[in-house]
Amino acid sequence: MKKGFLLVLLMVFLAWGTAYAQYLDVDLSCPSWIGYGSGDTQLKVTAYIENWDCQDVTVQRYMSGLIANPSNSLGNIAVYGPFPRFTTNPITVPASDCQGTPGTYTLQNIFVMKVPNVPGKMGMVYVSFITPDGKEVAGGDCLINIGP
């Protein structure tokens, strides 16, 4: 009985903590290819955000990262990040019309990181958005080709 109550309590807290995530949908768009080697090439992506909730959602921070194969082998991976980032100004994703049409927002040139010297073939970029009160609301990922 006690374990069942704790399990239900845990599920309630998890559902409460991710309440925004069921209403936001994030699609990331990566460049088709990015070079490495110089150390100053910036990886930037675009996020297309849809808000299915009937209320506006504000995000002020995001977390970004890159997973890549650093030795040109699928047997090795390297994780770069997560890197905490701040938007210049808080972003408000408008509410849906509550009739089936989401509110949309496009955020361009999201800085992920400077591209490390990874002689691999492909990487995965991840960006996760966070509200001003610290809740992760949604995130997205995309694949990118990495080369010299």
* Type of residue found at 79: V
Least-confidence region, from 37-41, 72-76, 85-89: 37-41
The residue behind tokens 């010299």 is 148
Instruction: Tell me the pLDDT of the chain averaged across its residues.
Output: 78
Least-confidence region, from 10-19, 68-77, 113-122: 10-19
Structural domains in the chain, CATH included, are: 2-147 (2.60.40)
The reported pLDDT for the residue numbered 21 is 46
- Grouping H, G, I as helix, E, B as strand and the rest as coil, residue 84 is strand
Q: Are 102 and 76 within 8 A, CB to CB?
A: no
Instruction: Please state the φ and ψ torsions of residue 7, each to the nearest 5 degrees.
Output: -65, -45
Question: What is the pairing mode between strands 57-68 and 122-130?
Answer: antiparallel
- Whole-angstrom CA distances from 10 to 7, 16, 17, 85, 123 are 5, 10, 11, 29, 34
- Whole-angstrom CA distances from 3 to 8, 14, 79, 121 are 9, 16, 36, 47
Provide the whole-model pTM.
Answer: 0.75
Q: How far apart are CA 88 and CA 14, in angstroms?
A: 30
32-73 confidence digits (pLDDT tens): 888 876 566 788 899 999 999 888 988 888 888 888 877 766
The reported pLDDT for the residue numbered 37 is 64
Strand order in 57-68's β-sheet? 33-35, 136-147, 122-130, 57-68, 78-93
Has residue 79 got a pLDDT over 80? yes
Has residue 17 got a pLDDT over 60? no
